[in-house]
Structure 1
Amino acid sequence: MKTSVIAILSAFTAAGSALAADPFPYDPGMSGDVYTASTLRGSIGLRYWYSQGSTENKGDLARIDNENVTGHTVEFLARLEDTSTGFFTKGYVGLGKNTDGSQSQRGFKSTSWNTSNLGYLTLDGGWEFRRFSNNSARINALVGYQYLSDIHSASFNTVDVKITSKFHAFRVGVAADGQFNDRFAWAVEAAAVPWAYNQVKDSATKLESEYTYGFEADATLNVALTSNWDIGIGGRYWWLHSEYELDQSQTYQRYGLLIESKYKF
């Protein structure tokens, strides 16, 4: 009996050892596969943009100007790149409010400003084509799309006047970024807008641009708080000019301070 118990226990032990072993052990020689580290890198983050804007409209149909328009915007930003090929995609979406400003119409200034919406979306793709400064900096080319909706609303005594500008823009440009050292980094970007569509409307008039062109740029200085977390400060400038039928035109500007926090992975 004792011999039978010992035999049964030995059988269970052997079976357990067999089950614990990997039934499909990895053998590089069997398939030729090689495990390598991922070449994908990226970042996600939040950004605040304090900005000042203006629009200057010329022509008999839409002679309404907006000046000193103060905007507060929160952005979500993301970037993903493949370090083995140099290709990347990036973008940001911003939502905010215009909280102050002034409007003038045929020489008459508004009596008060009404809080209005400001929103935009930018999506770019591109590739790295050169490194310099001992590989601590690089230059990228990019192409992309931008949507911008900016509403300016003011009151002339008891009459409210709201003007909405909506842009669909094609962007092409260059960007550069690099490191001063392990803690401090920089990034700059300049993009031309060779073509865009702009629609401007108020309660009585709607104008659609024959063509729009412009220029956009931003720059940031970042500080690494940890190996994965950066904070930064910088600036941004947008300039867009639209031409319409009947000698109508609009010049749009917005510029201001950027503050960002992002996580790198």
Structure 2
Amino acid sequence: MTFAASQSASAADLAPAEPVVYAPEFAGSFGTRYFLNTGKTRYDLYTVSGADEVSRLTYDDMTTSSIELFGKLQHSSGIYLDGFVGLGWSNDGNLQDEDFEPFITPYSSTDSDLDDNRFNYAKIDLGYDLLVRDRFSLGAFAGYFFMHERENAFGCQQTAGNPFVCGLAPIDNDVRVISFEGDWNALRLGLSGRVALTDRLSLSGDAAYLPYVKFDGSDSHWLRIGTDFAGPTPADGDGDGYQFEAKLNYAVTDHFDVGLGARYWRLQMDDGDFHFEDSALPLGAFQAQKTDITTERLGGFIDVAYRF
């Protein structure tokens, strides 16, 4: 009996051990995305005191195509890094340029076609999953957002009856008349979430408040540079904004995903300044005038990603 027990113990010792499976500390994804959106940028120019509105320029109906690269890196502790970079272009849209009484008489409103516009942007967020369950998660993040936009307006046609501004002599659409260009830098604070609808289908999204937005840009009235202006008129100021995104994701395989989503972005600069003292001739003879600038983007996207 002693010999049999010893023999049984030796067989157990020689049996192969169960394999140990270690969960990876890091997981992530990267991919490419097509973002189709419509844009609108508007700035209102006021007097030096800010009491009265002098003019308004509205760049609208800018159908824009963008190509993005994006990625996310997630640690098993719940910390994640998420970001994207995008390059966009647009060859359509309309500029409405309004000038108000009593600074001009009568009221003037002109239309110009937009072409050769640019829309470039990037985002980076550092977040943490506060709550993780089998089928859903909720996290919070802080990050940085950058956007550069450029709009070019061609031609000029009076639509309000003022004969002195493109009324008696409209400008052809092959002549560039006005350009607007600017950089938006913003701090992002928000929440992100994900819910599994099936084993392969999930819905995710994030909502961000932009408590600090910094704008630096310029306006160029090309036909007046060299006569009324020495060059572009600089503009700057601070503001805030918000951004929303939702995405439906389908896992085609264990490593390959396709997604369909929507976005809305709004950034605004309140109580900024157009520095006519730096551009209007004679230089230094004018003062900065108050301005508000708002830019919006609304659109949908489709993407493909590799998970690891």
TM (normalized to structure 1)? 0.82
Partner of 2:209: 192
Matching residue's letter, 2:110: F
**Residue aligning to 1:248:** 291
Aligned match of 1:260: 303
Shift of 1:36: 3.9
1:76 aligned to 69, 82, 85, which one? 69
- Tell me whether 1:232 sits opposite 2:259 in the alignment: yes
* Superposed counterparts of 1:46-57, under 5 Å: 46-57=32-43
* Corresponding position: 1:96 with 2:91: no
Instruction: Note the residue ranges of structure 2 that are not aligned, 5 or more in a row.
Output: 1-19, 47-53, 99-108, 156-171, 221-231, 274-288
- Residue 39 (structure 1) shift: 1.4
Q: 1:247 to 1:137 in 2, by over 3 A?
A: same
1:8 corresponds to which residue?
none
Does structure 2 conserve the Cα–Cα contact (< 8 Å) formed by 1:186 and 1:220? yes
Q: Does 1:126 align with 2:127?
A: yes
- Mapped partners of 2:212, 2:137: distance in 1: 27
What residue number does 1:87 align with? 79
> Is the 2:247–2:259 contact (alpha carbons within 8 Å) kept by the matching residues of 1?
yes
Report the Cα distance in structure 2 between the residues aligned to 1:120 and 1:54, rounded to whole angstroms. Answer: 16
Counterpart AA for 2:234: K
Contact 1:62–1:248 (Cα < 8 Å) also in 2: no
1:109 counterpart residue number = 111
Give the structure-2-normalised TM-score. 0.71
Q: What's the CA shift string for 1:78-107, capped at 9, x where partnerless? A: 000112x10000100001102211011121
1:172 and 1:62 mapped to 2: Cα distance? 34
How has the CA–CA distance of structure 1 residues 62 and 127 changed in structure 2, closer, same or farther, with 3 Å as cutoff?
A: farther
- Is 1:219–2:246 an aligned residue pair? yes
Supply the distance in 1 between the matched residues of 2:254 and 2:117 (Cα, whole angstroms): 39
Alignment of 1:110-189 (within 5 A): 110=112, 112-132=113-133, 135-156=134-155, 157=172, 158-189=175-206
> Percent of aligned pairs with the same residue?
26
| Contact 1:113–1:155 under 8 Å retained in 2 | yes
Mapped to 1, the partners of 2:236 and 2:55 lie a distance apart of: 12
Q: Which amino acid in 2 is paired with 1:208?
A: D
Q: Distance in 2 between matches of 1:235 and 1:220?
A: 7
State the 1:181 CA deviation: 1.3
Q: Which position in structure 2 is the counterpart of 1:45? A: 31
| 8 Å Cα contact 1:117/1:150 also seen in 2 | yes
Choose 53-62 or 244-253, whichever is displaced more: 53-62
Q: What SS does structure 2 have at the residue aligned with 1:100?
A: coil
Residues 213 and 268, structure 2, Cα contact 8 Å, conserved in 1 = no
Matched, 1:207 2:206: no
What is the identity, as a one-letter code, of the residue corresponding to 2:138?
A: I
Q: What pairs with 1:15-54 in structure 2 (closer than 5 Å)?
A: 36-54=22-40
How many Å separate the matches in 2 of 1:249 and 1:173?
Answer: 25
CA deviation profile, 1:95-153 (whole Å, cap 9, x unmatched): 1102211011121000x321221100100001010124xx2100010000011001111
Distance in 2 between the 1:127 and 1:76 partners? 22
RMSD (CA atoms): 1.6
The code of the aligned residue for 1:65 comes to: T
Give aligned pairs, total: 227
SS in structure 2 of the partner of residue 248 of structure 1: strand
Q: Which runs of 4+ in 1 moved over 6 A?
A: none
Gaps of 5+ in 1: 1-33
Contact 1:114 1:155 in 2 (8 A): yes
